[in-house]
């Protein structure tokens, strides 16, 4: 069910309490090194202020533990950057705690079209614990609640769940980026054009068991690479050398392989590997002949024959979802598998396929390769996109008004 969004909500002279994800990376001096998360919220922010809303923004930053103000985790640099991105708009940072009296005074003094940024939600222990008093106080700061924090959608933190709950009866709507994420990830899984191919990789099979189970029931083919493939290969009895294997997940791996054998989806595992002695730059490398890996070697990327068969499956696909790199792509030469797969997806997209990338590291890989614009959608949420691939709804989104 699509959700009501901020564009279709009357905001004039109303206080819009918007949960954003301004959890931006910073260097040691506190300079923002990547402001994408702020920039991506701008359409929703503009929608609220350009139609005369009074916008109260709230976010977490880093992991302070609810022990009050810490300068290192202040929202000040984010508020400053937002001001730079919105010339002519009044952007003020309020108080030392998101719910303190200074914050209330700043909000009470707002005019239409202005923005107040609350301090880091995680300065207050009420955020992580969802404390009712904290939630009610924040709820009193808004006439309209807007969720524009897809990256946090899978967490029932106070600002995501208890606050909109406390605002029952008032409009509770989705931001534009959140809506786009829900549409892309939701519709792609619900109504795929076929063939539908899922590509899974990354570090741990344990992180992705729920996603594999859900995707096995929906897709035509699942391609598995990355370190997680070695637990599946070990479960099949292959030699895996010193590759990363989760020994306590061998039974899960056996169950997945059996489920794939009995189901509609074809599961393709690597048939060869690029190995190193260790995961470090300059390590000696070797390509295996087949799926087995000799002792003393570690599988760090899919091999050329695997690449070829994965690329062939991707090129035939009309819907592609991808979560998790094919190898230790941060260390050369183990980026080749991820690169080939990403380029094949970009080419398939140009030819008309729908392609969606989820997962923090996969999205970063696509950005690094300069291919982000060649995909239909690159998700901004790692954990949240994975939860969507698992087919599990978000409690936080469930509270928003249907559109």
Residues designated catalytic:
37, 204, 360, 383
State how far the Cα of 248 lies from the Cα of 135, in Å rounded to an integer: 40
- Out of 95, 113, 358, 360, point to the residue binding Mg ion (CB under 5 A): 360
Among 7, 308, 330, 390, binds ligand ADP (CB under 6 A): 330
The one of Mg ion, ligand ADP, none whose footprint includes residue 171, by CB under 5 to 8 A per kind, is none
Q: Could you give the CA distance from residue 188 to residue 321 in angstroms, rounded to a whole number?
A: 8
Specify the pairing of strand 285-287 against strand 273-276: antiparallel
Q: Check: CB of residue 72 under 8 Å from CB of residue 27.
A: no
The stretch among 97-105, 131-139, 302-310, 354-362 that binds Mg ion (CB under 5 A) is 354-362
Burial of 281 (0-12, 13-18, 19+ CB in 10 A): exposed
355 binds ligand ADP (CB under 6 A): no
Q: Which residues of 99-116 are buried (b: 16+ CB within 10 A; e: fewer)?
A: bbeebeebbeebeebbbb
> Which residue from 65, 96, 92 is spatially nearest to 78, judged by alpha carbons?
92
- The two beta strands, 285-287 and 54-58, are unpaired
What residues numbered 356-385 form the site for ligand ADP, per CB under 6 A? 359-362, 382
When asked if residue 337 is in the footprint of ligand ADP (CB under 6 A), the reply is no
Q: How many residues bind Mg ion (CB under 5 A)?
A: 2
Minimum distance between the CB of residue 380 and Mg ion, rounded to whole angstroms?
13
Question: Which lies closer to ligand ADP via its Cβ, residue 11 or residue 274?
Answer: 274
Q: What is the DSSP letter of 304?
A: H
Contact letters (x/-) for ligand ADP, 204-223, by CB under 6 A? ---x----------------
Restricting to residues 234-263, which ones interact with ligand ADP according to CB under 6 A?
244
Non-local CB neighbours of 12 within 8 Å, separated by 6+ positions = 51, 52, 53, 112
DSSP state of 123: G
Q: Is 110 helix (H, G, I), strand (E, B) or coil?
A: coil
The residues facing 357 across adjacent strands are: 322, 378
The span from the CA of 187 to the CA of 190, in Å, is 5
Q: Which of 77, 113, 299, 381 binds ligand ADP (CB under 6 A)?
A: 299
Q: Does 361 bind Mg ion (CB under 5 A)?
A: yes
Torsion of CA 317, 319, 325, 329, to 10 degrees: 60
In the bound state with Mg ion, the residue whose beta carbon lies nearer, of 288 and 385, is: 385
Nearer to ligand ADP, 38 or 300 (CB): 300
CB of 186 to ligand ADP, least distance (A): 19
- Residues touching ligand ADP: how many (CB under 6 A)? 22
Regarding 203 and contact with ligand ADP (CB under 6 A), the answer is yes
User: If contact means CB under 5 to 8 A according to the sort of partner, which of Mg ion, ligand ADP, none does residue 276 touch?
Assistant: none
Asked if the bond preceding 262 is cis, omega within 30° of 0, the reply is no
Scanning 59-67, 178-186, 200-208, 280-288 for contacts with ligand ADP by CB under 6 A, the matching segment is: 200-208
What is the binding site for Mg ion (CB under 5 A)? 360-361
Contacts with ligand ADP, residue ranges (CB under 6 A):
201-203, 207, 226-227, 244, 279, 299-300, 323-325, 327-330, 359-362, 382
């Amino acid at each position: 069910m699509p959700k009501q969004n901020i564009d279709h909500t009357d905001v004039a002279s109303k206080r819009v309490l918007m949960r954003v994800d301004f959890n931006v990376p910073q260097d040691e001096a506190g300079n923002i090194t990547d402001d994408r998360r702020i920039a991506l919220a701008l359409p929703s922010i503009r929608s609220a202020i350009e139609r005369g809303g009074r916008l109260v923004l709230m976010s977490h930053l880093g992991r302070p533990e609810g022990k009050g103000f810490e300068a290192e985790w202040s929202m000040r640099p984010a508020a400053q950057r937002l001001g730079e991105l919105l010339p002519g708009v009044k952007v003020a940072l309020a108080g030392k705690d998101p719910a303190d009296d200074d914050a209330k005074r700043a909000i009470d003094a707002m005019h239409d079209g202005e923005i107040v940024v609350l301090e880091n939600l995680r300065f207050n222990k009420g955020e992580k614990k969802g404390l009712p008093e904290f939630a009610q106080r924040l709820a009193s700061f808004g006439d309209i609640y807007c969720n524009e924090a897809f990256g946090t959608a899978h967490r029932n933190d106070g600002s995501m769940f208890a606050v909109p709950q406390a605002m029952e009866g008032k409009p509770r709507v989705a931001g534009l980026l959140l809506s786009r994420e829900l549409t892309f990830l939701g519709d792609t899984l619900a109504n795929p054009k076929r063939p539908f191919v899922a590509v899974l990789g990354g570090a741990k099979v344990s992180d992705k068991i729920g996603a594999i189970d859900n995707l096995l029931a929906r897709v035509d083919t699942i391609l598995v690479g990355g370190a997680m493939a070695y637990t599946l290969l070990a479960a099949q009895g292959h030699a895996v050398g010193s590759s990363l294997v989760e020994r306590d997940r061998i039974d899960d791996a056996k169950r997945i392989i059996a489920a794939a054998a009995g189901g509609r989806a074809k599961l393709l595992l690597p048939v060869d590997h690029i190995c190193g002695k260790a995961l470090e730059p300059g390590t000696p490398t070797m390509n295996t002949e087949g799926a087995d890996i000799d002792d003393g070697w570690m599988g760090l990327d899919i091999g050329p024959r695997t690449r070829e068969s994965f690329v062939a499956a991707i090129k035939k696909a009309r819907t592609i979802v991808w979560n998790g790199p094919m190898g230790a792509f941060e260390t050369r030469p183990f980026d080749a598998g991820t690169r080939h797969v990403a380029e094949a997806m970009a080419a398939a997209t140009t030819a008309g396929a729908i392609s969606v990338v989820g997962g923090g590291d996969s999205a970063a890989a696509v950005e690094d390769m300069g291919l982000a614009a060649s995909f239909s959608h690159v998700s901004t949420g790692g954990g949240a996109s994975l939860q969507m691939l698992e087919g599990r709804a978000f409690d936080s989104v469930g509270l928003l008004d249907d559109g």
